[in-house]
Amino acid sequence: MAKQHSPILETLKEEQNIEVGHRLREVRMGRGISIRLLAEQSKLNVNTLSLIENGHTSPSVSTLQAIAQTLQVPITTFFETNNDNPKVIHQRAGQRPYARFTHGKMENLGSGMPQSGAEPLIITLDPEADSGKTPIVHTGSEFVYCLEGHITYQVDGHTYPLELGDSLMFEAHLPHRWRNEDMTPSKMLLVLCPLDDRDQPAERHFGR
């Protein structure tokens, strides 16, 4: 039987794409950069940028990373909304902004909260996905809580297996890597707490 898609979920996805596109256009125009110049500097296709800005496609994390580096802003800027710096963020299930990366999906639980010092994310990892051979290092601390599956973290040469309900917290200057050990998707709550907003640890984890 063919898989059916919920009209409500499809509508929510379209709305999220539009929000990210609007934020991209706002930041780009605020920098006084044309879409063609942004394409040249980020090495992305003009048509791709146009589709993103018009909400017709969902950009990957690597694409947003290239754009963020070119515009010199944190990648989370594209998930923020202009609500006069809200102090409370309430997200309904299925309505949070997300972006796809090479081996999974990243949902931003803190979208709209400016410079909160913490970046809460729900990460869904594809089967046997990993962070790569190069260890990740950034400022601040990192908290991981396994929501589903079997994830292994290597921190400073030590291995920590994580299954449902297990957690891990460590100083993020220690070299670390992660891997989904299952043949099915695994899911984790990841809270990144950089000391420097310019550090962009999410990009170090999922930008490849």
Convert the pLDDT of each residue in 162-197 to its tens digit. 999 999 999 999 999 999 999 999 999 999 998 876
Of 128, 113, 132, 15, the C-alpha closest to 62 is: 132
Q: Do strands 150-155 and 141-148 pair parallel, antiparallel, or not at all (unpaired)?
A: unpaired
Find the CATH number of the domain harbouring 143.
2.60.120.10
Q: Please check whether residues 33 and 110 belong to one and the same domain.
A: no
Q: What are 41-56's pLDDT values in tens digits?
A: 999 988 889 888 888 8
User: Does a structural domain hold residue 91?
Assistant: no
Shared-domain flag, residues 50 and 107: no
Which among 20, 8, 30 has a CA at the least distance from the CA of 51? 20
Q: What pLDDT, on the 0 to 100 scale, is given for residue 1?
A: 47
**Per-residue pLDDT, 82:** 55
pLDDT per residue over 58-82, tens digit each?
A: 788 888 888 988 888 888 778 765 5
pTM as predicted = 0.64
Q: Where are the alpha helices (DSSP H) in the chain?
A: 7-30, 35-42, 46-53, 61-71, 201-206
| Higher-confidence position of 200 and 190 | 190
Domain termination residue (choose one: 28, 44, 79): 79
Higher pLDDT, 53 or 11: 53
The range of the structural domain enclosing residue 145 comes to 98-206
Q: What is the mean pLDDT of the chain?
A: 83
What's the pLDDT score for residue 206? 79
62 and 140 housed in the same domain: no
CATH number at residue 62: 1.10.260.40
| pLDDT score at 116 | 62
Q: Tell whether 163 and 114 lie within a shared domain.
A: yes
Are both 75 and 102 inside the same structural domain?
Answer: no
pLDDT given at position 135: 94
